Structure 1
């Protein structure tokens, strides 16, 4: 379990950095050695270290819903276990069933079970009662993370926005709106139950394995925007990296980005204005970088690229590309392949 848990901890720290938190400070406060975490040798974590990591991440980000927002942000390729799910699955049902058996590779705070009926299937996240005493805070954040992560990554498997029929979990009334946004349904408050119920129509949908490969490729090309060290700490850069890493699910709205960064849309607009850029301009930078990358690879039809970048009409993508480069997607791809 150590390697997968280490990847999970790295994911938490990387997201904290994206939220303008010092990785050195976060790890030091949590009793974790950053050089060891980023080194080549595997390390293990105590229950106290993991609990403190969540506590400090929430405190330093001033975000009590840090786990929820991490679930929205963390990419499936960042957890190596997901690659195993993809390689051995053909449908959503296969993937969900395999995922339940592999959860223990990432955390021992709970286990997952799937119950299926003719009309729906339910994923239950069952607490490990023996671990709650010394990991109560980590348990809540990790459960929140996994519930959102499940929905978010099912989207990536099938290129469709999945909406649960029902979500059951404990939550505070003040956070209900954000839980509704991320879980895509109004959650039902429970005392100690965590469960997501989906329409059975999703169960037999085929997984688009190429989408996982696409995301893996994206994560290998996250530095498509060349920046100075000072610029890399800007909101522009952090939003750019977020959009790029999640581009396989489409370019999200300003409101969604603001919620993930735990600021208001108006505040985020002001911060970007101070950097002399708008959210739309950052989003177009990402689309342009991805379009050039996809076209140059020669692996995708222009129509597919248009769809992957969130354009409903090929003509809209062609107009945007010509505005960015002065040429058409077809001409650019032809020249890139020849050269």
Structure 2
């Protein structure tokens, strides 16, 4: 379990860095050696270290919903071999079944169980009450993470935003962020944590190519050369976030702001200070993605238009001509003719 647990800790720290938190400070306050974490050796972290890591991440980011937002941002690859195994699944149901059986490699605070019923299936997160007692804060944050992470990854499996039929958890006033990230109004329960989905998703084939696509994109699609200060800018951070989650389309300013734990108005001000707007950053990402999809030679223009979130092919064609000076059809033709 040590290696998978270490991967998960690395994911938490990496996301904290995206939130302007010093990795060295976060690890020091949590009793974790950053050099050891970055090294190759396996490490077994104590319940106190993990609990302190979540506490300090929430405190330093001023975000009590850090676990929820981590679930929205983290990708399956961050879970190491667990993620690699899940990615080899053939259907959504197969992936969920494998994921539930491997949860114990990442955390021992709860186990996952799938229950199928008439026209629906539910994923239950069942607490280990003995371990939970000594790590209540870590338990809540980790559980929040997993609930959102499962929904987010299901999106990636089929390139569609999935909305659960129900989300059940013992929170009397969960607030708007829970409803936004769980995509439904949570139902309060005594001590039950579960997500219920329509059974139509169970047998859908997984589009595994999106993971290879993301790896390729992150390796080949980059911003122009940036100074260190520019690479730490909101523009660069938002660009990278949109790129990493490209298979879900370009999200709204409100969703981006929530992920960075700032108000939409505040984010607009920060971008204005950098002489750029959110729309311009989103446009940069669409242009980079469009060119990458085109150059890959694997997609029709209509497919690319859809993947980039354009409702009308004509709207994508106009945008592409604005970016490149030519239409998608002519650009694609030039690629094939050399």
Cα distance change on mapping 1:40 and 1:224 into 2, 3 Å: farther
Counterpart of 2:87 in structure 1 is: 86
How far is the alpha carbon of 1:287 from its aligned partner?
1.0
Unpaired runs of 5+ residues, structure 1, are none
Determine whether 1:269 maps to 2:268: yes
Please list the CA deviations of residues 221-256 of structure 1 after superposition, one character each: whole Å capped at 9, or x if unmatched.
464443210111111111111111111111100000
Cα distance change on mapping 1:217 and 1:79 into 2, 3 Å: farther
Cα distance change on mapping 1:277 and 1:172 into 2, 3 Å: farther
How far is the alpha carbon of 1:333 from its aligned partner?
4.0
Please list the CA deviations of residues 35-78 of structure 1 after superposition, one character each: whole Å capped at 9, or x if unmatched.
22222333221211111110000000100000001111112232
How far is the alpha carbon of 1:192 from its aligned partner?
2.1
SS at match of 1:154: helix
Counterpart of 1:65 in structure 2 is: 65
Q: Distance in 2 between matches of 1:338 and 1:24?
A: 52
Cα distance change on mapping 1:99 and 1:111 into 2, 3 Å: same
Please list the CA deviations of residues 120-169 of structure 1 after superposition, one character each: whole Å capped at 9, or x if unmatched.
11110001112112211111000000000111111111112111111111
- TM-score relative to the length of structure 1: 0.94
Counterpart of 1:103 in structure 2 is: 103
Q: Which structure 2 residues correspond to residues 1-339 of structure 1 after superposition, within 5 A?
A: 1-80=1-80, 81-87=82-88, 89-171=89-171, 173=173, 175-221=174-220, 223-335=222-334
Cα distance change on mapping 1:179 and 1:319 into 2, 3 Å: same
- Is contact 1:69–1:260 with CA below 8 Å preserved after alignment? yes
How far is the alpha carbon of 1:209 from its aligned partner?
1.6
CA-based RMSD: 1.7
More divergent stretch after superposition (139-148 vs 282-291): 282-291
SS at match of 1:220: helix
Q: Distance in 1 between matches of 2:12 and 2:334?
A: 41
Q: Distance in 2 between matches of 1:106 and 1:260?
A: 23
Q: Distance in 1 between matches of 2:8 and 2:189?
A: 27
- TM-score relative to the length of structure 2: 0.94
How far is the alpha carbon of 1:177 from its aligned partner?
1.1
- Is contact 2:6–2:37 with CA below 8 Å preserved after alignment? yes
- Is contact 1:176–1:187 with CA below 8 Å preserved after alignment? no
More divergent stretch after superposition (200-209 vs 295-304): 295-304
